[in-house]
C-alpha cells in the first residue's frame, strides 16, 4: 500500500442535533465511527470507557449493575440516577439498569464530557453518551457475526434491512444472542463457575416517509440478560459483631478468593417502544420522541461474600417509564442556529431488598417510588464573526420524587445555564472556553428497619469551567484535542449500603475536581494509525460533616480525594493494514491501557494500585467477510474492578470485585 494515503476520515457528529464536523463543536467529545466500533470490538459501554479519557465503567455486582464515572462524577446505584444522559437513537435510557445492555448493529457513538443538560436532558450532570444505531436502508442489507471464546463464550448476531413494498416503508431488524459458561471459579463450591451469562437482545425499526418533509420511525426493543451475581471476594477477614450477651463471630476466612456460600443469580429484562416523528419546515425541523419502557430485575446472592452463611439478600426491581420530548431545531445554514424544546418524564418503580441474617429473615427494605420530571431547554449558537462563535444554552428541571411506601414527597428544581465561546485560530485549529452548570435531583433512600441512614438525600449541582483546543493538522492526518477543566461540586451524591439491606445515597457538601484530557489520532501512512487517549484528575473533598449511617468520622474524610476514578488513565491503540493479495488484507491491532491509582473509599485508605492491560487482534479481511483472532487482557492481569470498605457498609469484611481473566477467541463476520 502507498505511504502517502488519505487523511483520517472526518467524523460527523450530531451532538447539537445537526450534522457537524467533530472539530467544529466547542465541547469535549470522543466519537466512534462505524469503522472504529468494528475495529475496537465495541459491544458494551465498558469498551467505550476503556478508549475514552476520564470515563470509567465497571461491572461490579450483577448483570444489570455497573458503576459509571466521568470526570469524577459518579453513578448512583439502587434507585439512584446515572451521571450521564444515556441515549440510543434519541431515546433516554430511563433506568440505571440499562447502561449494561449489549450494543449491537451500531452506527456511531458520541461521548460528551461536561454538563450537557441543555440538549441531553436529566442526569446529564457529567456528560452524555449518544448512541446511533444503523438505520433502515433503501437497498437490502444483511449481516452475520459468529464468535467463540474462552469460557465457552459463544455469541451470534445478525441484521437485515431493506424496503417493504413500494410505498417508501423501510425496515431494519437486529438480533444478538450470547451464552457464556464463565471463567471465574468458586473453589469452595466445587470450582463452580460464577461469571456465567446468557443474553438475548432484539431491535426492530420501521421507517415511513409519506412525504419529503415527514418521516416516522417506530422502534421496538427487547433484551433479557441472566448471569452470575455477587461474586465479590472478601478483602479482609470477616468479623461479625453481635449484641450482648452473644459473642462476636470471627470468620477467619481467606481473602481475595471467590468463596460465597451460594452461587448468585441475577437477571434484567426490558421492553421498550418508541416513536420518533420528524417534520421539516423550510427553516428547521420539528421532532417528537415518545417512549415507553418496562424493566424487571432480580438478584439473589450471598451478601457477606464469605464461605460462611451469614448474610444473604434478594432484590426485586420493577419500573415502568413514559417519556415525551418535543423540540424544534433551526437549519444549520444561518449564522444564528438554535434549538428549543420541552420534556416530560414519569416513572413508577418498586424495589424490594429482603435480607436473611444468620438464617433468620429480617424485615425487607421496600420502596414504591414515583418520579415526575418536567423540563424546558434551549440552545443558541451565533457566528459573531467569521472566526468567533457564541453559544448560550439553558435547561430548567422540576423533578418530584414521591416515596409512596413511607408517604414522603419532595420537589427539586434548578436552572442550568451554559456559555461557550469558540474561536477559529485557523481553518485547522479551534479554541474554546465553556462555563456550565450541572444538576441531579435528590430523592429518598430505600430504608430497612434498623438502618441508621437518613430517609432522603439532597440534589447535587456543579459548575464546570473548561478550556480546550481541537485541531486537524498535517493535511488531516493528525487530529489532536486537548482540554483542561475544573469542577466546583456542591452536595455530591455517594452510594452506600449496609447489612440491613438498605441502599442509600449521602451528600458530600463541597468538593473540587480539576483535570485534563488529551486525544490524538495520527495516520503516518495509509496503512498505519495511532490513537491515544489520556486523562487525569486531581480532587479534594473540601467539606464533610458526620452523617448518620456512616461510621467513619468527618475528620478522616475531609481533605481526601474524590474516590472512584483513576487519577490518571492512558489508552493507546496501534492499527496496521497489510495487503496479502489484491483482495485480502491482514489487519493487526494492539491496545495498551494504563490505569493509575484508584481510591475506593471516602477516607482514601483503600485503593487499587497502577496496572496495565493489553488487548491484541489479527483480522483477515476479504470483502464481504472478515475472520478475526482476538485476545483480551493478553497477560492475564489481575486487579480489583470495584471495592467496598466494611467500615462504610457494616458488612463482616471488605469486599472486592474481581477482574475478568484473559480471554482468547475467534470471530467471523459477513456483510452483504
Instruction: Using CB atoms within 10 Å of the CB of residue 72, give its burial: 0 to 12 exposed, 13 to 18 middle, 19+ buried.
Output: buried
Q: What is the spatial distance between Cα 312 and Cα 231, in angstroms, rounded to a whole number? A: 12
Say which range, 120-124, 421-425, 492-496, has the weakest mean pLDDT: 120-124
Q: Which neighbouring-strand residues pair with 35?
A: none
For residues 39, 41, 43, 49, the Cα torsion angle rounded to the nearest 10 degrees is: -80
Buried-exposed string 631-656: b where 16+ CB fall within 10 A, e elsewhere: bbbbeeeebbbbbbbbbbbbbbbbbb
Model confidence at 17: pLDDT above 80: no
Using alpha carbons only, give the angle 346, 380, 17 rounded to the nearest 5 degrees. Answer: 60
Q: How many structural domains compose the chain?
A: 1
Using alpha carbons only, give the angle 495, 373, 449 rounded to the nearest 5 degrees. Answer: 40
- CB 191 within 8 Å of CB 184: no
- Angstrom CA distances, 363 to 312, 354, 447, 502, 661, stand at 13, 7, 10, 11, 38
Q: Which neighbouring-strand residues pair with 172?
A: 161, 205
Average pLDDT, the chain: 92
Model confidence at 436: pLDDT above 90: yes
pLDDT at 1: 37
What's CA 331's distance to the chain center, in Å?
31
Please check whether residue 5 lies inside any domain of the structure: no
Please check whether residue 27 lies inside any domain of the structure: yes
- Angstrom CA distances, 201 to 224, 316, 344, stand at 6, 21, 27
pLDDT digits (tens, 9 = 90+) for 130-153: 999 999 999 999 999 999 999 999
- Confidence band for 168, pLDDT divided at 50, 70 and 90: confident
pLDDT at 3: 45
Q: What is the spatial distance between Cα 62 and Cα 47, in angstroms, rounded to a whole number? A: 18
Model confidence at 311: pLDDT above 60: yes
Please check whether residue 3 lies inside any domain of the structure: no
Which of these, 399, 494, 403, lies nearest to 447 by C-alpha position? 403
pLDDT at 5: 53
| DSSP sequence for 387-442 | SEEEEEEEEEEEEEEEETTTTEE--EEEE--EEEEEEESSSSEEEEEEEEEEEE--
pLDDT digits (tens, 9 = 90+) for 212-223: 999 999 999 999
The CB density around residue 242, as the number of other CB atoms within 10 Å, is 10
Domain that holds residue 488: 12-671
The predicted model gives 464-489 an average pLDDT of: 96
Whether the bond between 245 and the residue before it is cis, its omega within 30 degrees of 0, is yes
DSSP-derived secondary structure letter, 446: B
The predicted model gives 393-400 an average pLDDT of: 95
- CB 622 within 8 Å of CB 584: yes
Model confidence at 36: pLDDT above 70: yes
Q: Residue 648: helix, strand or coil by DSSP?
A: helix
**What phi and psi, each to the nearest 5 degrees, are found at residue 430?**
-115, 130
pLDDT at 417: 95
Please check whether residue 7 lies inside any domain of the structure: no
Phi-psi sector, 402: left (phi>0), alpha (psi -120 to 50), beta: beta
Q: Which neighbouring-strand residues pair with 457?
A: 443
Q: What is the spatial distance between Cα 200 and Cα 182, in angstroms, rounded to a whole number? A: 17
Give the CATH number of the domain where residue 271 resides: 2.40.170.20
**What phi and psi, each to the nearest 5 degrees, are found at residue 100?**
-90, 0
Model confidence at 37: pLDDT above 70: yes
The predicted model gives 102-125 an average pLDDT of: 90
Strands 127-133 and 311-330 come out as unpaired
Which of these, 576, 570, 573, 606, lies nearest to 588 by C-alpha position? 576
pLDDT digits (tens, 9 = 90+) for 277-302: 999 999 999 999 999 999 999 999 99
Using alpha carbons only, give the angle 384, 389, 394 rounded to the nearest 5 degrees. Answer: 110
Model confidence at 396: pLDDT above 90: yes
pLDDT at 96: 80
Q: What is the spatial distance between Cα 604 and Cα 597, in angstroms, rounded to a whole number? A: 11
pLDDT at 7: 65
The predicted model gives 232-238 an average pLDDT of: 91
Instruction: Using CB atoms within 10 Å of the CB of residue 166, give its burial: 0 to 12 exposed, 13 to 18 middle, 19+ buried.
Output: exposed
Say which range, 55-59, 136-140, 396-400, has the weakest mean pLDDT: 55-59
Please check whether residue 4 lies inside any domain of the structure: no
Please check whether residue 1 lies inside any domain of the structure: no
Q: What is the spatial distance between Cα 479 and Cα 23, in angstroms, rounded to a whole number? A: 9
Amino acid at each position: 500500500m502507498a505511504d502517502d494515503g488519505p487523511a483520517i476520515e472526518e467524523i460527523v457528529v450530531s451532538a447539537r442535533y445537526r450534522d457537524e464536523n467533530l472539530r467544529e463543536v466547542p465541547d469535549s467529545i470522543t466519537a466512534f465511527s462505524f469503522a472504529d466500533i468494528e475495529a475496537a470490538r465495541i459491544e458494551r459501554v465498558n469498551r467505550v470507557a476503556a478508549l475514552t479519557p476520564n470515563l470509567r465503567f465497571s461491572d461490579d455486582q450483577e448483570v444489570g449493575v455497573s458503576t459509571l464515572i466521568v470526570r469524577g462524577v459518579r453513578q448512583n446505584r439502587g434507585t439512584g440516577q446515572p451521571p450521564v444522559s444515556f441515549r440510543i437513537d434519541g431515546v433516554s435510557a430511563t433506568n440505571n439498569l440499562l447502561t449494561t445492555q449489549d450494543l449491537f448493529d451500531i452506527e456511531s457513538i458520541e461521548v460528551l464530557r461536561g454538563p450537557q443538560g441543555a440538549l441531553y436532558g436529566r442526569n446529564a450532570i457529567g456528560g452524555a453518551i449518544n448512541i446511533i444505531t444503523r438505520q433502515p436502508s433503501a437497498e437490502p442489507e444483511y449481516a452475520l457475526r459468529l464468535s467463540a471464546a474462552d469460557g465457552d463464550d459463544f455469541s451470534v448476531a445478525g441484521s437485515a434491512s431493506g424496503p417493504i413494498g413500494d410505498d417508501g416503508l423501510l425496515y431494519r431488524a437486529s438480533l444478538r444472542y450470547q451464552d457464556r459458561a464463565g471463567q471465574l471459579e468458586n473453589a469452595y463450591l466445587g470450582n463452580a463457575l460464577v461469571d456465567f451469562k446468557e443474553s438475548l437482545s432484539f431491535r426492530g425499526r420501521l421507517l415511513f416517509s409519506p412525504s419529503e418533509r415527514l418521516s416516522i420511525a417506530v422502534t421496538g426493543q427487547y433484551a433479557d440478560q441472566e448471569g452470575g451475581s455477587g461474586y465479590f471476594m472478601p478483602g479482609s477477614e470477616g468479623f461479625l459483631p453481635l449484641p450482648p450477651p452473644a459473642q462476636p463471630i470471627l470468620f477467619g476466612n481467606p481473602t481475595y478468593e471467590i468463596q460465597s456460600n451460594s452461587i448468585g443469580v441475577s437477571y434484567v429484562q426490558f421492553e421498550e417502544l418508541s416513536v420518533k416523528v420528524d417534520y421539516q419546515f423550510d427553516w428547521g425541523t420539528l421532532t417528537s420522541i415518545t417512549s415507553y419502557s418496562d424493566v424487571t430485575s432480580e438478584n439473589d446472592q450471598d451478601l457477606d461474600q464469605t464461605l460462611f452463611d451469614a448474610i444473604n439478600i434478594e432484590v426485586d426491581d420493577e419500573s415502568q417509564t413514559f417519556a415525551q420530548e418535543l423540540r424544534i431545531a433551526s437549519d444549520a445554514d444561518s449564522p444564528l442556529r438554535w434549538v428549543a424544546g420541552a420534556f416530560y418524564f414519569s416513572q413508577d418503580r418498586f424495589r424490594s431488598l429482603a435480607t436473611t441474617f444468620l438464617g433468620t429473615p429480617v424485615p425487607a427494605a421496600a420502596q414504591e417510588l414515583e418520579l415526575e420530571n418536567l423540563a424546558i431547554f434551549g440552545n443558541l449558537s451565533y457566528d459573531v464573526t467569521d472566526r468567533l462563535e457564541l453559544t448560550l444554552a439553558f435547561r430548567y428541571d422540576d423533578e418530584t420524587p414521591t416515596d409512596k411506601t413511607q408517604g414522603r414527597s419532595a420537589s427539586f428544581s434548578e436552572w442550568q445555564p451554559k456559555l461557550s465561546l469558540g474561536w477559529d485560530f485557523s481553518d485547522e485549529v479551534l479554541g474554546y472556553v465553556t462555563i456550565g452548570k450541572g444538576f441531579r435531583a435528590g430523592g429518598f433512600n430505600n430504608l430497612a428497619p434498623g438502618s441508621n441512614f437518613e430517609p432522603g438525600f439532597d440534589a447535587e449541582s456543579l459548575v464546570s469551567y473548561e478550556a480546550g483546543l481541537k485541531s486537524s493538522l498535517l493535511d488531516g492526518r493528525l487530529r489532536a484535542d486537548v482540554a483542561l477543566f475544573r469542577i466546583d461540586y456542591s452536595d455530591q451524591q455517594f452510594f452506600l449500603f449496609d447489612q440491613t439491606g438498605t441502599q442509600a445515597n449521602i451528600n458530600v457538601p463541597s468538593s473540587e475536581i480539576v483535570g485534563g484530557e488529551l486525544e490524538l489520532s495520527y495516520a503516518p501512512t495509509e496503512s498505519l494509525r495511532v490513537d491515544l487517549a489520556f486523562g487525569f484528575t486531581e480532587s479534594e473533598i473540601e467539606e464533610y460533616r458526620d452523617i448518620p449511617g456512616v461510621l467513619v468520622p468527618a475528620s478522616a474524610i475531609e481533605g481526601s480525594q474524590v474516590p472512584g476514578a483513576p487519577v490518571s488513565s492512558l489508552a493507546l491503540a496501534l492499527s496496521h493494514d497489510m495487503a496479502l493479495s489484491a483482495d485480502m488484507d491482514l489487519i493487526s491491532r494492539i491496545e495498551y491501557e494504563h490505569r493509575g491509582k484508584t481510591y475506593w473509599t471516602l477516607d482514601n485508605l483503600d485503593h487499587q494500585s497502577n496496572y496495565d492491560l493489553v488487548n491484541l487482534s489479527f483480522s483477515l479481511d476479504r470483502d464481504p467477510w472478515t475472520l478475526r483472532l482476538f485476545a483480551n487482557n493478553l497477560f492475564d492481569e489481575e486487579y480489583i474492578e470495584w471495592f467496598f470498605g466494611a467500615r462504610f457498609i457494616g458488612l463482616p469484611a471488605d469486599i472486592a470485585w474481581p477482574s475478568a481473566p484473559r480471554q482468547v477467541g475467534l470471530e467471523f463476520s459477513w456483510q452483504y
